[in-house]
Amino acid sequence: MGFRFRLASFFVITLVVVQGLTAVLVYRVTRSELIGEGQRQLDVAAGAFARQLDDLSGRVASSVQVLALDFALRSAIAQRDNATVLSALRNHGRRVGATRMLLLDVDGRVEDDTAGKIAAGARFPFTDLVARAPEQPASAIAAWDGRAYWVVVVPVSAPDLIGFIAAAIPVDDSLLTRLQRQSALPKRIELASPAPGGGWRVLARGAADGDANAGQGVFLSPVLGGQRATLPTRPEVVDVDGREYVAQAVWLSHSKQSAPVAAVLGYSVDAALQPYRSVGAAWAGLLGFGLLVGLFGAWLIARGVSRPVEALADAARRVAAGDDTLPPMQERRDEIGQLAGAFAHMVHAVREREAHIRHQAGHDLVTGLPNRVAAEAAIQRTLDAGAGARSALLMIGLARLPEIINTMGHVVSDRLMRDAAARLLPNAGEGLVARATDSEFSVFLPAATRGEAARIALRFVEVLSEPYREAEFTLDLAPAVGIALSPMHGAEAITLLRRAEVALLAALGSEEPVAVYDPATDPHRPARLSLMGDLRHALEKQGDDTGLALVYQPKLHLPSGRIDGAEGLLRWRHPVAGPLAPEAFIALAEETGNIRRLTRWVLAAGIEQAGRWQSQGRDLRLALNVSARDLDDVDLPRRVAGLLSAHGVSPQRIVLEITESAIMGKPDTAIAVLRRLADQGIELAIDDFGVGQSSFAYLRKLPVRELKIDRTFIAHLGQSPEDRAIVRSIIDLGHHLGYRVTAEGVEDPRALDALRDLGCDHAQGYFVARPLAEDAFDAFVAKQRAALTDVEA
């Protein structure tokens, strides 16, 4: 469809929609007003109907009271002349419109009934009216024998009370019709009462002129039908066979012994709308004529505006495609000319906003520097253009910024970061300075060598080490710089950024403020991640194909010269990488939470080996290491006891070695676990004593039996008086506390002789023996004991 057709269609459809909405609005407003008027009429009619019934009740009661004052009737009643009484009651009942007249005694029992339906002596059904009648005539509506009656009871006195006369005037269709004609009651009026089986039943209905269904109760049934338990006492809109009515129920005063009776009044909304239908027909004719005129006029207007609008549409398509140059347009002073001018202004504004948005998307709002995304894209473009040329990426972090934010807030930290950026820019030279994170900057140095990058990094540390000052405070920034080199550490921007951050973390965690990325210390390198999974897989295996094994380093008892124990050390032969140093995977197990499973494997393998030595009659004590996390495990003593029992190993043959740092982490928990182990007879030793977080206050509380002097004090023991003095102090301390003392890392005979002279109990190290597999260890011990036997012989 062309623009002209669409424009013409738009005008026509708009006209139709507006006219239609207007018609709907007028109809809804008119209908709403008519419903409101009907509700008001029903409210008035409900009160009028109640008053009419009250007037009728008063007139009937007066007429019946006149009969009660008739002397002849009273005489007939007093003389029990039933024939005369019934004749008088029938005659008077016809005059007042009653279809049933009854004579009651003073106790409310029926003496005569003109309808002959109640036997003499039976109690009158509506005793509450009889109870009220001695004071004044009592009347009420009653549902009686499936019909509605106005029941009036008046007293008969001669002069004392001798009985009552009750009149039952039917409130039927004719009465309701007469009441409708005598007043402004609605065309719909019906009487209803609750049906015995549930629901409602119609007792009477008035005339409904012009309604063919007037006698079928179709009006009342929607109001009373369904599951409705109550009638609407306020005007309410209901639908009756597609016709709308406003209905309201009025509860009539009734006898307590009768079912309640309600008058349901209805106001026809459709009948009220009938006069407006001719207006609607005229409106439809005008709408048709207007459509024809509008269509013709819209087509003429469309012809006048289509060409310049089509030109603007073509220009808009070009702008959408990225071409924001506008073609020359004819000068016009009408609305189309204004549209063309506005369009040109819009294109210019869009061009400026896009430039601003692009700048905001690629720059940090606080410092104005490129953000990480923009920096990564720029670095990648430079790397791609350089085809592998050398470059450097520096990641600059401020260690104290998180503390400053927590203490001073983001307002101060933003000013601090702006100041830091201002310091970096003059010293970056040709480098690209960007804000990488909330607390870090990145500087990319194309064509920079390692030395140049280190020199610039130190310059950054120098300029950022100057405290940041404001009027009332001075803040130290504690800068550090991590360096990643390309192509040595990566040829992609994202890789260099990540590895520069790893180097920054290393710098923040050391005394040197500048660090170069070291793959060996990268906790996120792929090989390390693979090793985590392999270790977990090895621990899940059963049998001897796990690659895990224990080797045993002999412990020499210095006074006797015998091998009386060993330390079990874990080794892992990786299926691909081959043998791995313990440092490569034990720290990994600590980080990944697998250290407890690793300790369980070591305990199981070590205690099993101790059981074999015990069954062979070898008096050897085996030392096994446990980690700091193992001392948090309250089930460790129970697990060790279970292994000892399973393999029949005496607790005295096992020594568990722990480090000082493991104890100091959570001393209360660790001491509790260690005491339970000691109570089981298991000996405990402090490993690497002298270099950890020594605390003599905790040392005297620990149930340990052995101190193991760290190898750093033994390495130069033969030629260092200072180390000799330290070792002597540790040996004396241990012996005074009742501990055995073992020296680790014995590498030469002079160290062994010095330990023997100082009274050390045990020594272990490469000079005594390297860690050995089970068979090699057994052979070594046998050989050593045979040599001692020959010497003694």
pLDDT tens per residue across span 135-165: 888 888 888 888 888 889 988 887 788 888 8
Report pLDDT for 610: 95
Query: Higher-confidence residue: 527 or 632?
Result: 632
User: Do 654 and 764 belong together in one domain?
Assistant: yes
Residues 6+ apart with CB under 8 A from 272: 34, 37, 38
Can you give the pLDDT at residue 3?
Answer: 58
Same domain, 173 and 280: yes
Q: What is the CA radius of gyration of the chain?
A: 55
User: Looking at the structure, do residues 565 and 681 belong to the same domain, yes or no?
Assistant: yes
Q: Please determine, for residue 523, whether its predicted confidence score (pLDDT) is greater than 70.
A: no
Same domain, 646 and 513: no
- The two three-digit tokens of residue 398, written as one number: 């401020």
The mean-pLDDT minimum among 419-433, 500-514, 727-741 falls in 500-514
pLDDT band at 332 (very low <50, low <70, confident <90, very high): low
What integer pLDDT is reported at residue 543 of this predicted model? 57
Q: Which of 98-112, 494-508, 763-777 has the highest mean pLDDT?
A: 763-777
What is the arithmetic mean of pLDDT over 86-113?
A: 85
Q: Spell out a b/e string for 78-112, using b for 16 or more CB atoms within 10 Å of the CB, else e.
A: eeeeeeebbebbeebbeebbbebbbbbbeebebbb
CATH code for the domain of 518: 3.30.70.270
From the number of C-beta atoms within 10 Å of its C-beta (0-12, 13-18, 19+), residue 26 rates as middle
Q: What is the CATH number of the domain that holds 768?
A: 3.20.20.450
CA atoms within 13 A on the CB side of 772: 19
Confidence of residue 714 (pLDDT cuts 50, 70, 90): very high
**Enclosing H/E stretch for 643:** helix 636-647
Of 264, 294, 324, the residue at which a domain comes to its end is 294
Summarised one tens digit per residue, pLDDT across range 246-291 is 887 888 888 888 888 888 887 777 777 777 777 777 777 877 787 7
The reply to whether 612 and 485 lie within a common domain is no
Same domain, 452 and 588: no
Q: What is the pLDDT of residues 542-590, one digit of tens each?
A: 556 678 899 999 999 999 999 999 999 999 888 777 787 787 778 777 7
pLDDT at residue 211 tops 60: no
Give the per-residue pLDDT at 213: 45
Does residue 793 lie in a domain region? no
Kindly state whether residue 468 falls inside one of the protein's structural domains. Answer: yes
CA distances from 641 to 190, 631, 649, 680 (A): 95, 15, 10, 8
Identify whether the C-beta of residue 571 lies closer than 8 Å to the C-beta of residue 602. Answer: no
| Sign of torsion over alpha carbons 279, 280, 284, 287 | positive
pTM for this one? Answer: 0.46
Look at the chain and report how many structural domains it folds into.
3
pLDDT confidence of 502, banded at 50, 70, 90?
Answer: confident
Q: What is the pLDDT of residues 738-747, one digit of tens each?
A: 999 999 999 9
Q: What is the CATH number of the domain that holds 170?
A: 3.30.450.20
Average pLDDT over residues 716-745: 92
The pLDDT value recorded for residue 35 is 77
Confidence (pLDDT) at 556: 95
CA–CA separation, 54 and 50 (whole Å) = 6
Structure tokens at 586: 């034990």
At 527 the pLDDT is 59
Inside any domain, residue 704: yes
Percent of the chain residues past pLDDT 70, beyond the cut: 88
The residue-averaged pLDDT of 523-551 equals: 71
CA 793, CA 789: separation in Å to the nearest integer? 6
167 and 204 share one domain: yes
Mean of per-residue pLDDT scores for the chain: 82
Please give the sequence-ordered ranges of beta strands (E in DSSP) within 115-187, or none if there are none. 138-144, 147-157, 161-170
**For residue 362, is pLDDT > 60?**
yes
Is residue 398 over pLDDT 80?
Answer: yes
CA gap 393, 485 in Å, rounded: 6
Of residues 785 and 586, more confidence is placed in: 785
Is 258 in the same domain as 377?
Answer: no
Among residues 294, 321, 337, the one where a domain terminates is: 294
Of 276, 294, 312, the last residue of a domain is 294
In this structure, the answer to whether residues 40 and 188 fall within a common structural domain is: yes
Look at 195 and 703; give whichever has higher pLDDT. 703
Strands (E), 341-439: 391-398, 432-435
Which phi and psi angles does 188 have, rounded to 5°? -115, 120
Place 682 in a pLDDT band, splitting at 50, 70 and 90: very high
- Give the model's confidence band at 420: pLDDT under 50 very low, under 70 low, under 90 confident, else very high: very high
Q: For residue 2, is pLDDT > 70?
A: no
Mean pLDDT score, 395-423: 88
Q: Which has more pLDDT, 73 or 443?
A: 443
Instruction: Tell me whether residue 352 is in a domain.
Output: no
The CA distance from 711 to 289, in Å, is 110
Same domain, 590 and 518: no
Range with the largest mean pLDDT of 207-216, 391-400, 784-793: 391-400
Q: Residue 218 pLDDT > 50, yes or no?
A: no
- What's the pLDDT score for residue 563? 94
Distance (Å, whole) CA 229 – CA 81: 49
Residue 354 lies in a domain: no
Residue 304: the pLDDT is 65
Question: Are 622 and 727 in the same domain?
Answer: yes
Residue 289: CB partners within 8 Å, gap ≥ 6? none
The answer to whether residue 240 sits within a structural domain is yes
Task: Output 307 or 767, whichever has higher pLDDT.
Answer: 767
pLDDT band for position 462 (50/70/90)?
A: very high
Under DSSP, the state recorded for 109 is: B
771 pLDDT band (50/70/90 cuts)? Answer: very high
Give a yes or no: residue 540 inside a domain: no
The whole domain housing 471 covers 363-524
Work out the average pLDDT over 583-608: 83
pLDDT at 633 over 60: yes
Quick one: 616 and 498 in the same domain? no
The whole-number pLDDT of residue 217 equals: 46
- Please report whether residue 117 resides in a domain: yes
